[in-house]
Structure 1
Amino acid sequence: MNEKLNIIYICFYVLLLADICFCDIDKLDTDEFDSFVTANPLVLILFKASKECPSCNKALEYLDRLPQPDLVQTEILKRYVMDDVIADRLGALDYPSIVYFRNGNPALYNGKLGSVDDIPELLEWLTQASQVATQDLFEDSFEHLTQASTGATTGDWFVLFYKPGCDDCMKILPSVESAAISVKYRMNFAKVDVEVNKKLAERFKITTCPYGILFKQGKMYPYEPGKFDTQSLIAFTETWYKNVKSSPVPKEPTAFDILTESIAMYIKQQVENPNKNWMLILGVPSVCLLLVIVIVYVFRKPEDSRQKHD
């Protein structure tokens, strides 16, 4: 009997030294990754190093013990992935890393999972993160939601301007979402697709992506730290923005602004035209006349309205 027990103990210690973890979490293959995280509402992915990684195995063991959060009704599916390319694509640069997908939207977990004591913190985060915190803004909703140029009664906003086809942009979105989750009761986080919302890109003079701006009380603060990790983003929105030069938020262009800009662009194009002499003689005076008529109409309209009212 003692010999059998000794054999069992020896086998146990051999497995412990080899750092082998037996758990019910399945490995997700590379070719199934994208379809799996988009087809299922809630997916929790642990990224493990492809080489020997004791801390990764420990994290996997604790993730296996992780219960379903009480306030999250939909089952969270847990998988682990060993693929450096996918991990890099999601900004999961350190192993082990945890990424939480909500209907395909990733959030990078900023906490630890190195012991049983870390499980309650992860459970709380999963509850807070079950709904996507980063809003999508568009040309027809930007000013209404942010009230950026009027002083903002809707609070402060950190807005990321990005391009879907930009690898650097897509890599930081999970960290931006993580920051949005951490401060969602104190700060609004949003993103703007500059390819879809070109007028917003022009309004804020966005020439490079990714580019972040903090809109706060009628002023805007460009994000200058360079690093788009979760802690740097939170630090900037809370205190570090005071170290950068702010500028007034440009007003939303009116229909008249757009018209005058179009006319100015037309005149510029005609001046650069090889047949500019004829175009200047025939076209520009007509455009200028139209501009004068518009200006007179705009400034006389309030007076006419008052006279009719009287």
Structure 2
Amino acid sequence: MYFHKIIGIIYLGIIAVYGAGIERVDDMDLIHILTGEGDVVALFTRGNCAECEKYENVVDKIQDEVKQSLGASVVQAHDSNLIHIYDPSREPALLYFRRGIPILYHGAINDEEIIQFFSDNREPAVKELSDDNFEHLTQASTGATTGDWFVFFYSAECVLCQRLYAVWESVGGSLKRKINVARMNSLGAGVSTANRLKVAEAPGFIFLRQGKIYRYSSKEYTPKAFIEFAEGGYIKNSHPEMVPKPSSFMDELSFGQVMDYINSQGTLPLAFIGTFIVVFLLLIIKCLFKTSSKKTVNKKDK
């Protein structure tokens, strides 16, 4: 009798371990988890979705390995409204949040490939560029000895841009050993570069190779489409343009900018400039007066 009880306890234990599945969380719980300090692997699913079930089975199978190898918790968000933030293509979507920075998995529904992809991308791969470091890092106008660059121009006001952050990290993670993948705020720290490269709207994507620009004009915003473009698709899907030379400070300086600066500093700069102009005019008048006096003296001597 005791033997049957022991067998029953073991059986229940096995069911508890293997039948528990992935922990499901609602949106409030997910936000709380994602804003914490730990890394998280989150599977977004919906009802009546065969592919979602395949993902669920595979992630359930590897969740212990994910916890051990990545130190990340594993959760499932079913019918979550948050999916709109991380993947424009919607469910199923498997994301790995590294201290809050998401990367979207885009490979086959295979346990080994998922583990390998996340293990290779424990750190963010996308570089942040600005007007201050763009030319130094990319050397875009001189032939790019630092390699090819694929740059995503975004803005804080662009909702679609925010949804593409995880997608772009996926692109960066897949290409990081071959191509530099970066992003740039076209209305903030990268506004001058965006104007120089004629990036008129966000999101905007340009591929820089050997002193030339190739523009990604497709509206297919998936890791697969971006990667195919960078790995050769740019040749047939884009016309090369020469990278404009960086503009100098004086090229970018305008009268309006000068006046804006003066106005922002109050009346002191105006007083200083006014004094300088008056002194400068007095010196000119004095010089002219001396010249005129010398001519008069010379005439009298004659």
Task: Give TM-score scaled by structure 1 length.
Answer: 0.71
User: Where does residue 173 of structure 1 map in the other structure?
Assistant: 165
Q: Residues of 2 paired with 1:125 and 1:149: CA distance?
A: 34
Question: Contact between 1:99 and 1:106, CA under 8 Å: does it hold in 2?
Answer: yes
Question: Contact between 2:22 and 2:60, CA under 8 Å: does it hold in 1?
Answer: yes
The number of residues matched between the two structures is 242
Question: Contact between 2:151 and 2:184, CA under 8 Å: does it hold in 1?
Answer: yes
Query: 1:33 is matched with which residue: 6, 30, 41?
Result: 30
Q: Residues of 1 paired with 2:66 and 2:82: CA distance?
A: 27
Question: Contact between 1:92 and 1:108, CA under 8 Å: does it hold in 2?
Answer: no
Question: Contact between 1:23 and 1:61, CA under 8 Å: does it hold in 2?
Answer: no
What is the Cα deviation at residue 92 of structure 1?
A: 5.6
Q: Does 1:162 align with 2:139?
A: no
User: Where does residue 243 of structure 2 map in the other structure?
Assistant: 249
Alignment of 1:39-118 (within 5 A): 39-49=36-46, 51-66=47-62, 67-68=64-65, 72=69, 74-91=70-87, 93-113=89-109, 118=110
What is the Cα deviation at residue 89 of structure 1?
A: 2.2
What is the Cα deviation at residue 54 of structure 1?
A: 4.6
Question: Contact between 2:211 and 2:243, CA under 8 Å: does it hold in 1?
Answer: yes
In our comparison, the structure showing a higher alpha carbon Rg is 2
Q: What fraction of aligned residue pairs are identical, expressed as a percent?
A: 30
What is the Cα deviation at residue 264 of structure 1?
A: 9.2
Q: Residues of 1 paired with 2:52 and 2:256: CA distance?
A: 61
Alignment of 1:151-300 (within 5 A): 151-197=143-189, 198-243=191-236, 244-259=238-253, 262-263=254-255
Aligned to 1:111, the other structure's residue is in SS state coil
Letter in structure 1 aligned against 2:243: V
Question: Contact between 2:41 and 2:73, CA under 8 Å: does it hold in 1?
Answer: yes
1:229-268: CA deviations, max 9, x gaps?
0111011111111121111111121223234xx15988xx
Q: Does 1:127 align with 2:124?
A: no
1:127-174: CA deviations, max 9, x gaps?
111110111111111111111111111100000001123111111221
Aligned to 2:246, the other structure's residue is in SS state coil
Structure 1 stretches lacking a partner, 5+ long: 1-20, 267-285, 287-310
User: Where does residue 279 of structure 1 map in the other structure?
Assistant: none
Question: Contact between 1:30 and 1:83, CA under 8 Å: does it hold in 2?
Answer: no
Structure 1 moving runs of 4+ over 4 Å: 69-72, 263-266
Q: Residues of 2 paired with 1:264 and 1:210: CA distance?
A: 28
Q: Residues of 2 paired with 1:108 and 1:138: CA distance?
A: 25
User: Where does residue 14 of structure 2 map in the other structure?
Assistant: none
Q: Residues of 2 paired with 1:42 and 1:206: CA distance?
A: 34
Aligned to 1:85, the other structure's residue is in SS state coil
User: Where does residue 137 of structure 1 map in the other structure?
Assistant: 129
User: Where does residue 268 of structure 2 map in the other structure?
Assistant: none
Aligned to 1:154, the other structure's residue is in SS state coil
Q: Residues of 1 paired with 2:22 and 2:74: CA distance?
A: 6
Question: Contact between 1:47 and 1:92, CA under 8 Å: does it hold in 2?
Answer: no
Question: Contact between 2:44 and 2:93, CA under 8 Å: does it hold in 1?
Answer: yes
Task: Give TM-score scaled by structure 2 length.
Answer: 0.73
Q: Residues of 1 paired with 2:210 and 2:38: CA distance?
A: 37
Task: Supply the RMSD in Å over aligned alpha carbons.
Answer: 2.7
